[in-house]
Structure 1
């Protein structure tokens, strides 16, 4: 009898604790996970939450492994508060306790996000069949709470595709190569070995990124060999790089190549090291500004 009474009391407490909670999550029928971006530059795994918004995990090409989670709300926060992020077992797995993963800051009129470690933890919980869930107070009623859950339904296949994409990302970003200085051998249009490696990186990136607006190629020389010859040599160096990019599929209209000869030295021409620094090509790439 005591055991039955205990079960009834627990059920009543659970019912009371759920009162005033607005719950948002996808059920088995409308749960969809998909990889919306799959390239060597960007990987994005998305999950629609009916009547609430979209959950997004994103990783981008970079020298360091990275991951970002963003909760893109249809109705943005109206004030600053905190949401508790918990790992919750689905109803069909009774007896498994939930636990707090982290707190997430909610800033007024901004979609909240979580950084690398927490984002990976959430993905690991989903992989193990748990539901990462966000709990926070309603912005207009302190007595009402909101619960937003990520469903594990149809997660596995999309997650495998996403992990494959992340593993194939470039290990450098646009910022790493947006401004590049290449150096040459003396009285030649041949690169040093370091410059050859850099050109290979730039070429690979240009093939993948179709958003590049302009590629500026500015070539310079040292002061040995005569001004006219140095001007022509710098123009030859710039044009050779432009032709290289065009052969790799870059629209010629987006490439501007110029030779400046002995102008704009950055080091003394009295030393071998200084002359090596002056024999250079500067490649500057621009993307459309984001607003």
Structure 2
């Protein structure tokens, strides 16, 4: 009788365990790759066979940042919540699993996690744990899905990723997409602060091949004749253009306009306000 009960319990338990579909790379096949290695963006990628890719991305910015994206081959068909755990592999007997975060499942979108959870996943991988994401399958109501990140072959690429992140530019495209540079009086020499901003823009232009157009609009104050001021504004803009072409930006992607003493943004009644009118406005567009 006892044997019958045990056998019955085994039958009842089996479907529950079999209903979890596991996706993870085998230890011998686990690969981590550093993608988009530049001073604008660093991405660490891990392929999950039959499922998709796990992506950790950090971008150039004033502040350190990181985002985790679970790129799925089959996007969600409904909304839900996934549980993210750090799971010890079989060769860590006695180690306990740890809850990391909940991940929102959004219809027709990849999964993602914010900075804190993303760094936690990386640190757990560094220790040899397998962060795993559990959720109810949206295609089969009888199945749950477990998506594991294999820590094998992780550390070397993670250290390379960390070095890449350390070398990111300390500003983003949004910080320089619209910039106003000011000049010394009756000169095409920038003020000290504008030279610093111009160097920032130059550093960015060297790294970003997707910039479609750089527009340079130069202006002067009202001191001096109108023809002189117009020529001065053109000369100022051309100097910036030459600086950018020297950085490798194709000349045809830079448009220059000298406006002279037109379109003042401040009165010309004193030196402080006139300095605001001596300016070049730089606008940049991406492809």
Tell me whether the two structures share a fold, i.e. TM-score over 0.5: yes
What are the ranges of 5 or more consecutive residues in structure 2 without an aligned counterpart?
1-9
Q: Which runs of 4+ in 1 moved over 4 A?
A: 11-17
Separation in 2, partners of 1:95, 1:192 = 64
Aligned residue pairs total 280
What TM-score comes out, normalization by structure 2 length?
0.94
Q: What residue number does 1:8 align with?
A: none
Tell me the equivalent position of 2:172.
Answer: 173
The CA distance in 2 between the partners of 1:118 and 1:54, in whole Å, is: 17
- Structure 1 equivalent of residue 3 of structure 2: none
1:19 Cα deviation from its structure 2 partner: 2.6
User: Relative to structure 2, which stretch is displaced further, 244-253 or 106-115?
Assistant: 244-253
1:48 corresponds in structure 2 to 47
Matches for 1:203-218 after TM superposition, within 5 Å: 203-218=202-217
Superposed CA deviations along residues 141-182 of structure 1, whole A, max 9, x for unmatched, are 443210000000111111111011001100001110010000
> 2:7 aligns to what?
none
- RMSD (Å), alpha carbons: 1.8
Q: What is the CA–CA distance in structure 2 between the aligned matches of 1:113 and 1:269, rounded to whole Å?
A: 52
Q: Does 1:149 align with 2:168?
A: no
- CA distance in structure 1 between the aligned counterparts of 2:40 and 2:219, rounded to whole angstroms: 31
Distance 1:243 1:47 in 2: 42
Q: Separation in 1 of the partners of 2:254 and 2:32? A: 39
SS at match of 1:29: helix
Determine whether 1:132 maps to 2:131: yes
Structure-1 separation of matches of 2:13 and 2:262: 78
| Displacement of 1:16 | 6.4
Secondary structure at the counterpart of residue 270 of structure 1: coil
CA drift at 1:30 = 1.7
Shift in Å, 1:220: 0.2
Instruction: Please list every run of 5 or more consecutive structure 1 residues that lacks an aligned counterpart in the other structure.
Output: 1-10
| 1:235 match | 234
SS in 2 for 1:244: helix
CA distance in 2 between partners of 1:162 and 1:140 (Å): 35
SS of the residue aligned with 2:263? coil
- What's the TM-score once normalised by structure 1's chain length? 0.93
1:227-266 to structure 2, matched below 5 A, reads: 227-266=226-265
Shift in alpha-carbon separation, 1:140–1:245, aligned structure 2, 3 A: closer
